[in-house]
Structure 1
Amino acid sequence: MTLPPASPFGRALCAMVTPFTASGALDLDGAQRLAGQLVARGCDGLVLSGTTGESPTTSDAEKAELVRAVREALDGRGTVVAGVGTADTRHSVELARAAEKAGADGVLVVTPYYSRPPQDAVEAHVREVADGCGLPVMLYDIPGRTGTRIEPETVLRLAEHPRIVAVKDCSYDFLGAQKVLARTELAYYAGCEEHILALYAVGGAGYVSTVANVIPEQLRAVLDAFDAGDTARAARLQRAAAGLIESMMAAGLPGAVTAKALLGALGLPAGPVRPPLLSARPEQVADLRDEYGAVTAQPW
């Protein structure tokens, strides 16, 4: 069987929440405990300070502290990718250098938001970040949040940079992803859980998942079944997670809110979200618990 291209950060990556204390302070002990558990339960690596990690509301110092703490907790058992994307190129470069100094294995660079730069400016932004540090770069294409895509032709040009090695794809452009896969060696990670198996089947590298905060074993099992040649099982497992994926990612609440709600209900480190986000209401938590129970009750 033909396996997917080399996955520079592993195959099964969790977009980890950033645990806070009840008062809203950074909970480094909780982050270390959660990180250790996620890797023990099947994650090859963790992506910190991304969308699910509430990066807009954590300080530069907190981001660096989080990388150091998680790096220490993992002790070489998994990769650490640090989100460094901002709307300001100079600030993004500073965060990339700080992440490198703190021990990250790579950086996640999102398209600059709000200013909606044209494609030549997007390309220049990413190149400057890649040139500004020594770490491999994962592009983060999520136009639904940033307002700006990294168009396939732009990705093709960026793929020529020696340190740009991967893409977290939340574009919902499956054809565009296949076009890039056919013409580059970039590692494509599904950033939308409903696409995990589909993207992997056409040569993707794996996934970067918010839902993996709560069902890391089950999502990993999708990839393992496909690699074992049991495509029918892989498809069944992908479908089995669909209800929870919808409840966490497509039912009106941000993934950071739903992931923290479920982690808290399961007794795992999470804490509240920071404003402007609001924590899930009790009835919303109950619904999430029901979907979680339905998924975990199935044979995996």
Structure 2
Amino acid sequence: MSAAVSRAASLTGLLAFPVTPFTDTGDLDLPCFKEHLTDVLAAGPGAIFVACGTGELASLTATEHEDVVRAAVEHVAGATPVLAGVGGGTRTAVEFARAAQAAGADGLLALPPYLQVGPPAGLVAHYREVAAATDLDVILYQRGTAIFSPGAVAELAEIDNIVALKDGYGDMELLQRIRTATGGRLALLNGMPTAEIFASAYAGLGARAYSSAALAFLPEVAGAFFTAFQNGDDVTQDLLLREFYAPLAELRDTTPGYAVALVKAGLEIRGRSAGPVRPPLADVAPEHREQLARIIDRGLAAVSATPVA
């Protein structure tokens, strides 16, 4: 196993999912993307995942996808692993995988196939082809149209470069059955929307690394929560959950697509605009933007009141 591959196989800590910035006319904004990456890197993430769900993979062209991955690899310059999202139909995902490897990515996050829902055998065939197209490590992402049976995951776990399962579905019984079926051969990552809310539950299954949307626009709160989580500081975790994460999740659930749009709105509120989201996502409504600003203020106030600060 190469050094690059092994970096993606042993992810730990707080995992960053930066946005993909666009100009006011909707074009890719790579200078802004690099500034955003600098801010994200300052938080010391265990890895950076670009062109994934938060990075609006589904709205990127093949050329834009490769440009984003290459820009991230060059800008991060080995400071932490850079993993790239791949998705869509099987042949599209294969093309993205090959392009990401050519651009220097350390690994891949294989997002669910777009729209189509297939049986376990079809999912296995899809991810086999993606894994066979690259030398990079591949992380499966369970959510949406890709909910795996334990047997399917056990079959995929036999493939050398499939190394982890990121879960965004939240069925703890299913995850335990998957762990039993695979003998723990795949690392498990908490990939729930607003993953901090589920951090303790996933830790019980051995998944202590998690993705944090808040890290992209509010690293002070994301970092404080992760430190409290690592230290077993339940008081600080409960405070941040009550003051920031629970209200954020409630706002997120008001409107489809807000899991991404709120991150970009949060960046704008904090003076680090990354431009609009692309359709079919929609920018945050004015009244929700005001609500988000208040939630951000509550989060920062909570951090200032904790020993972590």
With structure 2 as the length reference, what TM-score do the two structures score? 0.87
Q: 1:179 to 1:241 in 2, by over 3 A?
A: farther
Question: For residue 160 of structure 1, what is the aligned residue in structure 2?
Answer: 158
Measured after TM superposition, the shift of residue 185 of structure 1 is: 2.9
The one-letter amino acid of 2:281's match is L
Aligned length: 291
8 Å contact kept, 2:19–2:55 = yes
Q: 1:34 to 1:89 in 2, by over 3 A?
A: same
Distance in structure 2 (CA, Å) of the matches to 1:248 and 1:186 = 33
Q: Secondary structure at the match of 1:297?
A: helix
Instruction: Pick which of 12-21 and 181-190 moved more.
Output: 181-190
Q: Secondary structure at the match of 1:157?
A: helix
Please, which of 274, 284, 292 is the counterpart of residue 270 of structure 1?
A: 274
8 Å contact kept, 2:87–2:110 = yes
Question: For residue 251 of structure 1, what is the aligned residue in structure 2?
Answer: 254
The one-letter amino acid of 2:149's match is E
Question: For residue 109 of structure 1, what is the aligned residue in structure 2?
Answer: 110
Q: Please tell me the root mean square deviation across aligned C-alpha atoms, in Å.
A: 2.1
Please, which of 295, 301, 306 is the counterpart of residue 297 of structure 1?
A: 301
User: Given the alignment of the two structures, is residue 211 of structure 1 paired with residue 214 of structure 2, yes or no?
Assistant: yes
Q: 1:213 to 1:156 in 2, by over 3 A?
A: same
Deviations for 1:85-115, whole angstroms, at most 9, x for unmatched residues? 11x2112111101001111111111221322
Measured after TM superposition, the shift of residue 220 of structure 1 is: 3.8
Measured after TM superposition, the shift of residue 219 of structure 1 is: 2.9
Distance in structure 1 (CA, Å) of the matches to 2:220 and 2:9 = 19
Distance in structure 2 (CA, Å) of the matches to 1:282 and 1:232 = 33
Structure 1 unmatched runs, 5+: 1-5
Instruction: Pick which of 107-116 and 288-297 moved more.
Output: 107-116
* Within-5 A mapping of 1:54-93: 54-86=56-88, 88-93=89-94
Measured after TM superposition, the shift of residue 224 of structure 1 is: 3.1
Q: 1:264 to 1:226 in 2, by over 3 A?
A: closer
Measured after TM superposition, the shift of residue 67 of structure 1 is: 0.9
Measured after TM superposition, the shift of residue 132 of structure 1 is: 0.9
Structure 2 unmatched runs, 5+: 1-7
* Within-5 A mapping of 1:113-152: 113-143=114-144, 146=145, 148-152=146-150
Q: Which runs of 4+ in 1 moved over 4 A?
A: 231-240
Question: For residue 24 of structure 1, what is the aligned residue in structure 2?
Answer: 26
Distance in structure 2 (CA, Å) of the matches to 1:81 and 1:96 = 11
With structure 1 as the length reference, what TM-score do the two structures score? 0.89
Distance in structure 2 (CA, Å) of the matches to 1:244 and 1:212 = 16
8 Å contact kept, 1:47–1:208 = no
Distance in structure 1 (CA, Å) of the matches to 2:154 and 2:222 = 29
Question: For residue 178 of structure 1, what is the aligned residue in structure 2?
Answer: 176
Deviations for 1:46-103, whole angstroms, at most 9, x for unmatched residues? 21122221111111111111111111221222221111111x2112111101001111
Distance in structure 1 (CA, Å) of the matches to 2:244 and 2:176 = 24
Distance in structure 2 (CA, Å) of the matches to 1:206 and 1:257 = 24
Q: Secondary structure at the match of 2:165?
A: strand
Tell me: higher relative CO, structure 1 or 2? Use CA pairs within 8 A at least 6 residues apart: 1
Q: 1:23 to 1:12 in 2, by over 3 A?
A: same
Distance in structure 1 (CA, Å) of the matches to 2:241 and 2:187 = 21
The one-letter amino acid of 2:185's match is E
Distance in structure 2 (CA, Å) of the matches to 1:32 and 1:156 = 38
